[in-house]
Amino acid sequence: MKQFLLIFLGGGFGSFLRYIISKSLNVYYPNFYLGTFLVNILGCFIIGILIGISVKNNFLSESHMLLLATGFCGGFTTFSTFALESHILLKEHSIFYMSAYLALSILIGILAVAAGLYVCKLL
């Protein structure tokens, strides 16, 4: 039961924070969905750091990982919204913006995970 509560709390806080960031930033670049993009990239970086800390120092317990990686990062990042926004751009015939959004989200997301892992190696 404790595991479910940790995931629930982390996911709730992550979802709330994602909503605030996305709502405030998506209005500036409606053809790119900057808020969702930044949330997903930041979430990739955070999970890279969490995994890096866990592997390097064995610092985070299973409970910490459930709260932070599964809960918070799972609630904070959003693949479904990313897919929906990509579909909207395609439907609006914004092929350039959709392609940029897809490519940059995937490429920079992977690089952000790697950067988070790399930062942990330096510590």
Q: What is the DSSP letter of 123?
A: -
Phi then psi for residue 59, to 5 deg, are: -80, -35
* CA atoms of 118 and 123, how far apart (whole Å): 9
Predicted confidence at residue 29, as pLDDT, reads: 81
74 is in an annotated binding site: yes
Predicted confidence at residue 38, as pLDDT, reads: 96
Q: Map tokens 């926004």 to a residue.
A: 85
Predicted confidence at residue 10, as pLDDT, reads: 97
77 is in an annotated binding site: yes
Instruction: Return the number of other C-beta atoms located less than 10 Å from residue 98's C-beta.
Output: 20
Structural element, H or E, at residue 75:
helix 74-76
Predicted confidence at residue 17, as pLDDT, reads: 97
Confidence of residue 82 (pLDDT cuts 50, 70, 90): very high
pLDDT tens profile 28-75: 887 899 999 999 999 999 999 999 999 888 888 999 999 999 999 999
Taken in order 105, 110, 116, 122, the sign of the CA dihedral is negative
Predicted confidence at residue 57, as pLDDT, reads: 81
pLDDT tens profile 105-122: 999 999 999 999 999 998
Predicted confidence at residue 56, as pLDDT, reads: 84
